[in-house]
Amino acid sequence: MYLRMVEATVKKKGEYLLGEIYAEKILTALEKVPGCIFAGLLHSRDHEFKYISLTLWQSEKDAEIYEASGNYRKNLESVQHLLEEKSEWKIQLSDENMVEYKEVPVEPSVKLYPAAENQEPLPDEISNQSGILRILSLKIKEGLKEEFNEIYNKEILPELKKIQGCRYAFLLDNSENNGEMISLSIWNTLETVEKYERHGMFKKFLEQVNHTLGGLYQWKMVLEARSKSKSAVTSQDIGISKFELITGKKFI
């Protein structure tokens, strides 16, 4: 299974139409695309105008064929008028060796991640018209990915799924990017997520894999344990973000 995320910023007031177009046009179109398991529109809880289109695919090839076919471009064009028009400056030398500045439109960010092995099928309730997606990013120490995977799948995942309000959870392998592993979980409400984080279960799970996390993160933990007044930010810090499911549908 592969996860594909398209991240974009929406114009002010554009969010009201985005959900309608996504539900009526994009979900209908994706339902006909071979290999697409699920699609959903998500709204960031941290950034008012940030949205993500999340799709799950049976294989990487299915996701690549979808993009190459022009269907992705067609779906993007149906909401393009609602998205912020961003651009960047491209600097290059002309044939006369003169510096040229050219404004280039910036496309929405597209990311594709493989799911870790032995993932369970998606439950039907994943398509409920409300819910919270929690994304946890962890940087794993070199050589300890397999140990992390085993602890996550055999010890953490079964217990996580027992927690009230957790609909589904799975692991994405992005280890080619600085050893990153991503845990995605889908919850009924924001309150259930916050209760999970507040009442010690998340801390307990983190302690089970702490020894597999990167050296910079380990250094930070030691520093903060020695002095509560000191803190540090590193490239291996744990990242947590939350998104509200606006609309979604399971196809397979």
Range of the domain at 4: 1-85
Domain boundary among 70, 85, 100: 85
- Which residues, listed in sequence order, are joined to residue 248 by a DSSP beta bridge? 40
| Res 27 pLDDT > 90 | yes
Query: SS3 for 19?
Result: helix
111 φ/ψ angles, rounded to the nearest 5 degrees: -130, 140
Residue 103 lies in a domain: no
Q: Which helix (H) or strand (E) holds 16?
A: helix 15-21
Indicate if 1 and 122 belong to the same structural domain: no
Q: Quote the number of domains for the chain.
A: 2
Structure tokens at 12: 């002010």
Read off the amino acid at residue 178. N
pLDDT band at 16 (very low <50, low <70, confident <90, very high): confident
pLDDT band at 234 (very low <50, low <70, confident <90, very high): very low
Indicate if 81 and 120 belong to the same structural domain: no
Q: Which helix (H) or strand (E) holds 44?
A: strand 36-44
Q: Which pLDDT belongs to residue 94?
A: 54
Residue 98 lies in a domain: no
CB 251 within 8 A of CB 30: yes
Geometric angle at alpha carbon 243, from 85 and 178, rounded to 5° = 85
| Res 79 pLDDT > 70 | yes
What residues contact 85, with CB distance under 8 A and at least 6 apart?
Answer: 105
Indicate if 128 and 240 belong to the same structural domain: yes
Domain boundary among 64, 85, 106: 85
Q: Which pLDDT belongs to residue 221?
A: 42
Structure tokens at 13: 């007031």
Indicate if 63 and 136 belong to the same structural domain: no
Least confident of 51-60, 96-105, 164-173: 96-105
199 φ/ψ angles, rounded to the nearest 5 degrees: -95, 15
Instruction: Please tell me which residue, 236 or 34, carries the higher pLDDT value.
Output: 34
Indicate if 77 and 171 belong to the same structural domain: no
Least confident of 86-100, 138-152, 153-167, 182-196: 86-100
Indicate if 122 and 161 belong to the same structural domain: yes
Indicate if 249 and 147 belong to the same structural domain: yes
Residue 247 lies in a domain: yes
Region of residue 13 (phi > 0: left; psi between -120 and 50: alpha; otherwise: beta): left
